[in-house]
């Protein structure tokens, strides 16, 4: 049985898809974050960030994905799925993933590396709370693997945050 806490080549393939979703999000004016949900071998849902275009501060890629997934999949299907994300889920997204019952998360860029790139937003710093800590506080298990593909994941953020007003 594979170790689900390490990132495999298959995981890297799905992470690259999430990074491309982040790139697509950036191209339409949103923050560069993307996520995909995989059940078995198939990507079934892709999520992009919509914070800017929809004016919703909760429109993170993972949260958008969870909203769709929860309406389409049964709880047991969610539990056996893996959510791949271009950047470590924030506390809000980790909570959504936890409450949806998704069983595994694989991320590329760690939160602390993102925080080093992002200037204080509207006088507020990013929320520094690793997803593993959020998941550890719950009664259900969420397996986490990552970080991985750091250079590829960081590249989609290059120049974005320092170009913002």
Of residues 98, 91, 33, 89, the one with CA closest to residue 70:
98
Query: In whole angstroms, what is the distance from residue 83 CA to residue 71 CA?
Result: 16
Cα 68 from chain centroid (whole Å): 14
Catalytic status, residue 20:
no
The widest CA-to-CA distance across the chain, in whole angstroms, is 49
Cβ atoms within 10 Å, residue 122: 4
SS3 assignment, position 45: strand
Which residues are within 8 A (CB) of 37 and not within 5 positions of it... i.e. 6 or more apart? Answer: 43, 44, 45, 46, 47, 65, 69, 81, 82, 83, 84, 102
User: Of 20, 27, 62, 112, which residue is the catalytic one?
Assistant: 62
Q: Structure tokens of 98?
A: 């936890």
| Residues that are catalytic | 62
């Amino acid at each position: 049985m594979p170790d689900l806490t390490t990132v495999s080549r298959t995981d890297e393939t799905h992470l690259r898809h999430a990074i491309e979703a982040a790139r697509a999000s950036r191209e339409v004016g949103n923050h560069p974050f993307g996520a995909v949900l995989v059940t078995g071998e198939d990507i079934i849902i892709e999520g992009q960030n919509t914070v800017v275009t929809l004016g919703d501060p909760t429109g993170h890629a993972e949260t958008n994905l969870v909203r769709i997934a929860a309406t389409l999949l049964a709880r047991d299907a969610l539990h056996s799925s893996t959510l791949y994300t271009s950047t470590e889920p924030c506390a809000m997204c980790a909570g959504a993933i936890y409450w949806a019952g998704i069983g595994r998360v694989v991320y590329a860029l760690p939160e602390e590396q993102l925080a080093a790139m992002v200037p204080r937003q509207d006088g507020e710093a990013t929320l520094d709370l690793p997803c593993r800590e959020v998941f550890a506080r719950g009664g259900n298990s969420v397996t986490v693997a990552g970080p991985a593909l750091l250079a590829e994941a960081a590249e989609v953020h290059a120049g974005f945050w320092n170009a913002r007003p």
